[in-house]
Structures are given as structure tokens and as C-alpha cells.
Amino acid sequence: EVQLLESGGGSVQPGGSLRLSCAGSGFTFSNYDMSWVRQIPGKGLEWVSGISTSGGGTYYADSVKGRFTISRDNSKHTLYLQMNSLRAEDTALYFCASGQWYLPDWGQGTLVTVSS
Amino acid sequence: QSALTQPPSASGSPGQSVTISCTGTSSDVGGYNSVSWYQQHPGKAPKLMIFEVTKRPSGVPDRFSGSKSGNTASLTVSGLQAEDEADYYCSSFAYSNNLVFGTGTKVTVL
């Protein structure tokens, strides 16, 4: 059974940083592109970033470009999202998902709150 | 990249069909056969229902079907069941290697 478990969310002040992690199990992690998607509670989905199997290709939404960095460690079956210069509008539930242009499996999300 | 446009709500009685539209541009929906649909129940993660416009992942009932014409994609749920009541989101690959989601549609089973 595919499992994706996000961690690293929490409360941070504007301008601060957080690093999210997503541990994958039940599938060959290194064979799958991976993505981050966020959702403000009660609102719609927003794609944040995607990464190719090797990590050589990375893609970002304009809203996070230059502030967020996606990476992966295939030896640890883990996906990361380094979030810098956080803003109030980054407050959301962050999901990791397998795939890049369609997303077959999702984690349950980790909540990031940016507030002073 | 602007969100794809979906109607805020749709409804139908059990056994009926409901169709949800997803309108984009030639830079996303119209330009690629890479439209997906997701179902999300309250407090749950999204679930992939359709990918590459018409394909169903294993385990998704054939009551769910997808199509596309021009810049508009559609999801049809036939034989509505109570458990189909959920939010539905479309998504599409977009020019410049982006993924764009739709605004979401709340489906109510009357």
C-alpha cells in the first residue's frame, strides 16, 4: 500500500523558514516524479512545485518561485520542500503527492501557519 | 497561471447524472491531453478519479468518465450515489511546465 507521510509543518512568523518532509513507502520512490500541492482550509487546491525522478528537473508555481526549493533523497525515500521568506498567504495545508502532471497518491497533509 | 474555471456547485438525485465543466485556455486544457479530475471529501486528501482526459485509475467506478472539447474538459458522474457527494477539482498541465487546478465544484446528491 502506498503511503505518503508529511511532517515539518507548524507556526512561523512572516519572513521565517520551514522545511517540510514527505516520507514515501509501499512503492519504488525513485521511480516516481513527486509534487507538493497546498490548500487553504475551506478553499481550493494550488499546485506548488514538482520534481523529476532524479531531482534534475524542478518546477515551481510563480507564487513561490525564488522562495521555495523542492528536493528529494531517493536513498531515504523522502521528498522535501524548503520554504523561505514565508508570507501570510503561504498559510495552508501542504500535501505531497506522487506524480507530476497527474497525482495518483496523496498524503494527509501538514499544516503551515504564517502569522505574527 | 490562472486557475481553471469550474461551476461552484452541481447537484442531482440518486441515479441521475451530473456533468462538471472545466474551462481553460489553449495554453493548458486546450493545448494538452493532460486533464485530470480529483474527488475530495471533507477533511480528506484528494483522490485521483480521471487522468489524461479519459483514463480511470484502477478501482475508480466506470460511472466516472471524462472528456474534452477545445478549451473545456468535462467530468460526468452517472448513476449518482450518496458517496459521490464531494468537492471535485480538475487540473491540467500548462505551458512552462506548470500544473494548474480548477476552482472546484461542490457536488450535492439531493
Which residues in chain A are closer than 8 Å to B51, comparing Cβ atoms? 102, 104
At B50 the three-state DSSP class reads strand
* Tens digits of residue pLDDT in B40-57: 999 999 999 999 999 999
- Number of A/B CB contacts below 8 angstroms equals 57
Q: In chain B, which residues touch A (CB < 8 A)? A: 1, 3, 34, 36, 38, 40, 45-48, 51-52, 57, 89, 91, 93, 97-104
Does residue B97 carry a pLDDT above 90? Answer: no
Which single residue is written with the C-alpha cell 487546478?
A: B101
Distance CA A21, CA A105 (A): 16
Which pLDDT band holds residue A3 (cuts at 50, 70, 90)?
Answer: very high
Which residues in chain A are closer than 8 Å to B38, comparing Cβ atoms? 45, 103
pLDDT of residue B96: 86
Min CA distance, A43 vs chain B (Å)? Answer: 9
Region A15-35 average pLDDT: 97
pLDDT of residue B17: 97
pLDDT of residue A80: 98
CB-based contacts of B84: which residues, under 8 Å, 6+ apart?
Answer: B39, B63, B77, B107, B109
Region A33-59 average pLDDT: 96
Region A39-47 average pLDDT: 96
B101:A50 CB<8 A = no
* Tens digits of residue pLDDT in B4-35: 999 999 999 999 999 999 999 999 999 999 99
Nearest to B99 among A44, A47, A104 (CB): A47
Distance CA A42, CA A109 (A): 14
Distance CA A78, CA A55 (A): 12
